[in-house]
């Protein structure tokens, strides 16, 4: 099989592309290497891949889909806190416009799409664990763009027969995690002895999902999910940020200098996924518990740079 992976030089996309290659598939990797974080980091992620540098919002997407059996669409401008104000134009470009153009081309080509959405579409949910049929009330512009993309999936499915499956990720972590994400900032603080800033009181909780489990969800969705399905992808490891800090200190045998500041707009208080649907329909199960996954992320980071002496 031949697959297109968008965002293939990113965190989840690079892991997914490698898994497809290991499974004997042909992979067309696309990434536009935005400046959200360093190009060098993305080049390191994609060292084992062949990547075409293109902007989906501007290129001829139809050409990318020639002889492609399916599309894993992970390309997006990420980040809740940076999606406000003038930055929103960037999110419209890379999330909404790029996705609309990809969906249109995939519908015309008859290619199945597995779209990477986000738990951010729920906002501060009324019920936990949160099911896929819960009301969607995003509280950040980033979440609003992801929900807009899900609506585009419905529109193109209804009007043009697009075969699309949407996966709502719950806080994916692990090796290659984006530098702006909490766990990456935590392990960097551990390695360097620099302070780590907690936005809020640290009692906010997330349902953390190891990257390998997210990759498996993508593969199963492409192979087995019915068209139009929407699935939560959550690791079942809901923990507060303070609990995570205690756990990673234990794993690393080092202490973090924690500083507290005000919570930021768009940050939800809690996420917890009801994963009954994906377990039942795709027989997906999260395999990596939080402690094991955090240890893997710590080892990955520590192997890439020397640890500084912490007094």
How far apart, in whole angstroms, are the C-alpha atoms of residue 245 and residue 242? Answer: 5
* Rounded (10°) CA dihedral 214, 215, 220, 223: 140
Please, is 237 exposed, middle or buried when counting C-beta atoms within 10 Å of its C-beta (0-12, 13-18, 19+)?
buried
The catalytically annotated residue of 122, 142, 156, 231 is 142
How far apart, in whole angstroms, are the C-alpha atoms of residue 188 and residue 53? Answer: 29
Q: Which helix (H) or strand (E) holds 208?
A: strand 205-210
User: Is residue 3 among the annotated active site residues?
Assistant: no
Question: Chain-centre distance of CA 60, in angstroms?
Answer: 25
Q: Is 229 helix (H, G, I), strand (E, B) or coil?
A: coil
Task: Quickly list DSSP for 98-147.
Answer: HHHHHHHHHHHHT-EEEEEEEGGGG-S-SSSSBPTTS-----SHHHHHHH
* Rounded (10°) CA dihedral 41, 46, 47, 49: -170
Q: Rounded to the nearest 5 degrees, what angle is found at the Cα of 185, between the Cα atoms of 179 and 188?
A: 100
Question: Chain-centre distance of CA 74, in angstroms?
Answer: 7
Q: Which two tokens stand for residue 270?
A: 């809690």
Q: Is 197 helix (H, G, I), strand (E, B) or coil?
A: strand
Total residues found in the chain within this entry: 311
Q: Percentages helix, strand, coil for the chain, rounded to the nearest 5?
A: 40, 20, 40
Place of tokens 């377990």: 279
Task: Pick the closest to residue 112 from 122, 102, 125 (CA basis).
Answer: 102
Would you name the residues annotated as active-site residues?
Answer: 142
């Amino acid at each position: 099989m031949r697959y297109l992976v968008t965002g293939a030089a990113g965190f989840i996309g690079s892991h997914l592309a490698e898994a497809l290659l290991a499974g004997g598939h042909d992979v067309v990797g696309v990434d536009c290497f935005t400046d959200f974080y360093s190009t060098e980091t993305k080049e390191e992620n994609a060292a084992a891949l062949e990547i075409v540098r293109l902007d989906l919002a501007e290129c001829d997407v139809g050409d990318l889909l020639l002889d492609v059996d399916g599309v894993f669409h992970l390309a997006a401008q990420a980040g809740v806190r940076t999606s406000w104000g003038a930055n929103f134009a960037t999110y419209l470009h890379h999330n909404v416009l790029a996705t609309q153009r990809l969906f249109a081309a995939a519908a015309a080509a008859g290619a199945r799409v597995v779209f990477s959405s986000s738990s951010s579409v729920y906002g501060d949910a009324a019920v936990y664990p949160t099911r896929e049929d819960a009301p969607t009330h995003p509280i950040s512009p980033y979440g609003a763009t992801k929900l807009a993309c899900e609506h585009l999936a419905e529109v193109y499915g209804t009007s043009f027969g697009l075969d699309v499956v949407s996966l709502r990720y719950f806080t994916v972590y692990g090796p290659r995690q984006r530098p702006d994400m909490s766990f990456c900032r935590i392990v960097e603080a551990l390695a360097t002895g620099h302070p780590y800033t907690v936005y809020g009181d640290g009692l906010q909780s997330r349902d953390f999902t190891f990257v390998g489990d997210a990759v498996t969800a993508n593969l199963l969705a492409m192979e087995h999910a019915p068209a139009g399905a929407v699935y939560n992808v959550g690791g079942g490891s809901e923990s507060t940020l303070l609990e995570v800090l205690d756990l990673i200190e234990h794993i690393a045998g080092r202490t973090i200098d924690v500083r507290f500041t005000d919570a930021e707009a768009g940050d939800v208080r809690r996420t917890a996924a009801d994963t009954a649907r994906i377990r039942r329909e795709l027989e997906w199960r999260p395999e990596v518990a939080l402690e094991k996954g955090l240890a893997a992320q710590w080892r990955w980071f520590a192997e890439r740079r020397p640890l500084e002496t912490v007094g």
